[in-house]
Amino acid sequence: MDFKALASRYKTPLFIYDFDHISAQFNSVKEAFNARKSLVCYAVKANSNLSILKHLANLGAGCDCVSVGEVKRALYAGITRYKIIFSGVGKDDSEIEFALKENILMLNVESEAELKRVEAIAKNLNTTARISVRVNPNVDAKTHPYISTGLRKNKFGVDTDTAKKLYIYCKNSPFLDPVGIHCHIGSQITDIAPYRDATAITAELLRSLKALEIDIKFFDVGGGLGIRYKDETPIKPYDFAQSVLANLSGTDVTIVCELGRFLVGNSGYLLTKVLYEKQNGTKRFVVVDAAMNDLIRPSLYSAYHEIETVDKNGGGSLADVVGPICESGDFLGKDVELPPLEHSDLLVVKSAGAYGFSMSSNYNSRPRAAEVAVKDGKDRLIRARESFEDLIELEKEYLKKDWDE
Ligand code: LLP
């Protein structure tokens, strides 16, 4: 990757995504499930850029969405409607209505109250809603507490007994068609055991539903496959698939997974320019033009992202790499070993493809960074850098109004 050329062409801070890497990641999962009917969905929340969605649509991906905005993005980018799942713990009536009218594959329901709303809206529209129920298996995914979702204390899904009751309710409703079963236990998972445990619990429920003549067609194992940020040993897609398949022998379900980070995380780089160095006593800081508004993961989860120099080598000393935002929590890396740096030197923050841009903000009135795709050695802009005009667009109109008007 020619970071120097990309920086001079598109300026910094800049997100760069390697589309060939995304293809390779997608194909590795698809192959792992080769022996079965499968649908590899992309969790749009990880990075919702339309060009990324289109690239994945071309590879045959479906999408897991958690808001109507994500459903609209998926449709806009050309994802087949029968491959779109709408998940999430809270859906507004208008969102449910939109999803039903668009006839997407299924709505993933997370509570009894939600199921009743879906039923009422489907009835109003005189249609039948295809749904899945999200099971909370009470399994510890052994990941960061903020991104662990499969424990009873988390807000997600319903326990297996409640799930069973909901399925029976669906069976007796002309407006609900229970086609799927779903379970997602967390994110950045690097231990296979929680997957095995969670799918065993969900598969048992699947079998008991079959006995009740509730015929589930889609078995959604969620997402969460971890990647390497530092020294983690990620689960191989083959082992992931085997841990799922081992629990499903004798069943004829289509396996669905909804991966975000695994598909795009390591494809992404955040390229940033050094503004200057400073020393507070013995503490060395490298101040760069990217900040927590661009990549909040280090500040929010103490997440580690490797940071490398682009055109300077050699050892140096430890420094905190910090942004211009007025918060002490604004850092991209702590105690990073870096050579002496000068104004305009480039640093690259790695593994920034997932939950980077999609969690970025305009905090401190900073326009969001541009995004670039690289494929077959060619690069192109996939999101323009925001301007000051963009920042004030939705406000400026109201300046003209007086309180007395
Ligand atoms: N499916 C559901 C229902 C989810 O809630 C999530 C992620 C995924 C799939 C995709 O998970 P993945 O394959 O990307 O691990 N912002 C955090 C991650 C939050 C994940 C939320 N749910 C981070 O930066 O680490």
Statement to judge: residues 67 and 159 lie in one domain: yes
Looking at the fold, whether 126 and 141 belong to one and the same domain comes out as: yes
Ligand 1 proximity of 181 Cβ (cutoff 6 Å):
no
List Cβ neighbours of 298 (8 Å cut-off, separation of 6 or more): 292, 304, 305, 331, 332, 333, 334
- For the chain, how many structural domains are there in total? 2
- Site to substitute for ligand 1 among 86, 187, 302, most atoms within 8 A of C-beta: 187
Say what the pTM is. 0.96
Domain boundary among the residues 209, 243, 259 is at 259
377 pLDDT above the threshold of 80 = yes
Catalytic-role residue among 63, 170, 183, 326: 326
Q: How far is the CA of 158 from the centre of ligand 1 (A)?
A: 18
> What is the per-residue pLDDT across 23-40, written as a single tens digit (0 to 9) for each?
999 999 999 999 899 999
On whether both 253 and 296 belong to a single domain, the answer is no
Amino acid at 198: A
Q: Quick check: CB of 70 below 6 Å from ligand 1?
A: no
- In-domain check, residue 402: no
Question: 232 with 315, same domain?
Answer: no
Instruction: Identify the bridge partners of residue 308 per DSSP, sorted by sequence position.
Output: 348
CA of 267 to the centre of ligand 1 (A): 16
**Mean pLDDT along residues 205-222:** 96
Is residue 219 included in any domain, yes or no? yes
Q: Which domain does 318 fall in, by range?
A: 3-13+266-387
How far is ligand 1, taken at its centre, from the CA of residue 46, in Å? 7
State in Å: Cα 147 to ligand 1 middle.
7
178 and 272, same domain (yes or no): no
CA atoms within 13 A on the CB side of 57: 20
Q: How does residue 139 score in pLDDT terms, banded at 50, 70 and 90? A: confident
Same domain, 241 and 294: no
291 and 234 assigned to the same domain: no
CATH number of the domain enclosing 309: 2.40.37.10
326 given a catalytic annotation: yes
- 80 plus 210 within the same structural domain: yes
Cα separation of 168 and 135, whole Å? 15
Our answer on whether the CB atom of 87 is closer than 6 Å to any ligand 1 atom is yes
Q: Is the CB of 178 under 6 A from ligand 1?
A: no
Q: Is 46 in the pocket of ligand 1 (CB under 6 A)?
A: yes
pLDDT in tens, 323-362: 999 999 999 999 999 999 999 999 999 999 999 999 999 9
Residues 147 and 226 in one domain: yes
- 371 touches ligand 1 (CB under 6 Å): no
Pocket of ligand 1 contains residue 234 by CB under 6 Å: no
Using pLDDT thresholds of 50, 70 and 90, give the confidence band for residue 150: low
Does residue 19 belong to any structural domain of this protein?
no
CA distances from 254 to 8, 33, 143, 214, 257 (A): 47, 10, 27, 15, 10
Ligand 1 atom 19 nearest Cα: 147
Q: What is the pLDDT of residue 190?
A: 95
Higher pLDDT, 236 or 314: 236
Nearest CA to ligand 1 atom 22: 187
| Segment 124-132 mean pLDDT | 97
* Same structural domain, 291 and 355: yes
CATH number of the domain bearing residue 232: 3.20.20.10
When pLDDT is averaged across residues 257-280 and rounded to a whole number, the result is 97
Spell out where 264-390 has E strands. Answer: 268-280, 283-288, 307-309, 317-322, 331-338, 346-350, 370-375, 378-383
**Mutation pick for ligand 1 pocket among 26, 40, 41, 45 (CB with most ligand atoms within 8 Å):** 45
First to last CA, the chain: 56
CB distance 356 to ligand 1 below 6 Å: no
